[in-house]
Amino acid sequence: MLPAVKTRRPRFVVCEDGAEYIERFRRFLGEDFLFVPANDLAAALAAVGEPGAEGVDGLLLDLDFRRTPPGRLVDERGQPPVAPDEGTRRRLTESQGILILRALRTRGVALPAVLFADLGDAQQAGFLERTLAPLVVAPSSTGLREIAVLLRERSSWPTT
């Protein structure tokens, strides 16, 4: 009789300002995948390690980070904003998932990513998928079965 082959569960960093996504993923997809929390850019960088590091198969990002304290947000340059006014804070929180992914890409992190965002504009989604590739923009209402398919397909996504 052959010994059972143990396979490594694919590991994904879940970047969100709460715990809704990671709790749901762990509960319903945790037998097949490992999920690591990251609630800001610093935590995401720590979770992925150095560019090209082994062990992380992809990134799952929420778009909106309204619960994140201002000092942990990043702006379009990937830097914490200096004393943001309410309008700037709102703008940064509403697109923080994109800004975190952009900052990761500029630091050499080329892992496949899924951005959960209800953009309502196919051109904007296409622009993000092209400029932040490899990326899939998925509605926040995407079901668990579809998410599992996306995660399983990660190996077929090109890395740049």
Percentage above 90 pLDDT, the chain: 79
Q: Which has more pLDDT, 155 or 77?
A: 77
Instruction: Please give the distance of CA 14 from its chain centroid, rounded to a whole number.
Output: 5
Q: CA-to-CA distance for 4 and 45, rounded, in angstroms?
A: 35
The pLDDT assigned to 49 comes to 85
- Does the pLDDT of residue 53 top 80, yes or no? no
Q: Which secondary structure element, helix H or strand E, spans residue 13, and what is its range?
A: strand 11-15
Residue 128 makes CB contacts below 8 A (sequence gap 6+) with 98, 115, 119, 135, 137
The pLDDT assigned to 82 comes to 86
The pLDDT assigned to 123 comes to 94
Q: CA-to-CA distance for 28 and 84, rounded, in angstroms?
A: 38
Q: What secondary structure letter does DSSP report for 8? A: P
3-state secondary structure of 134: coil
- Does the pLDDT of residue 156 top 70, yes or no? no
The pLDDT assigned to 159 comes to 46
The pLDDT assigned to 132 comes to 98
Q: What pTM was estimated for this model as a whole?
A: 0.89
Confidence of residue 160 (pLDDT cuts 50, 70, 90): very low
Q: Kindly list the structural domains of the chain, giving each domain's residue range(s) and its CATH number in brackets, ordered by start.
A: 11-154 (3.40.50.2300)
The pLDDT assigned to 3 comes to 60
